[in-house]
Amino acid sequence: MVLSSFPLFLLSYAISLRIPWDIRFHDLRHSAATLLLSMGISAKVVQEILGHSNFSTTMDRYSHVLPSMQQEAMNKMDDFFRQQP
C-alpha cells in the first residue's frame, strides 16, 4: 500500500466500523504511543518506534501517561517487599 493511499484506506475502514472518519494519521500515532506506554513498554522503546531523536521529546509529549505507571510500579514494589521474610 502506498502511503498516499493510506488516508483513503483509513476513511473506508472507519466508515465500515462506523467510527469518526476525520481521524488523522497523527491521532493513530499518538494513540499507539499512549497505549504502548500504558502497557508498560519502556519509554525508550516508544521513543525509538516513534523515531524521536531525543528522549525528552517523547517524555514531553507522553508524560501524562506516567502517573498511573508510577503508581503501578510502587504497588509492585510494595508487593515484592511484603513477600520477603
pLDDT digits (tens, 9 = 90+) for 9-48: 767 777 787 776 666 777 888 888 988 888 888 889 999 9
pLDDT surpassing 70 at residue 76: yes
Residue 6's pLDDT band (cuts 50, 70, 90): low
Q: What is the overall mean pLDDT for the chain? A: 80
* Structural contact between residues 20 and 14, judged by C-beta atoms closer than 8 angstroms: yes
Lowest mean pLDDT among 3-7, 17-21, 26-30, 54-58: 3-7
pLDDT reported for residue 47: 93
Q: Residue 43: how many CA atoms within 13 Å on its side-chain side?
A: 15
Give which of 19, 49, 16 is closest to 34, Cα–Cα: 49
pLDDT reported for residue 9: 73
- Give the burial class of 38: count Cβ atoms within 10 A of its Cβ; 0-12 exposed, 13-18 middle, 19 or more buried: middle
Percent of the chain's residues with pLDDT above 70: 84
**Signed CA dihedral, 12, 18, 19, 22: sign only:** positive
* Structural contact between residues 34 and 65, judged by C-beta atoms closer than 8 angstroms: yes
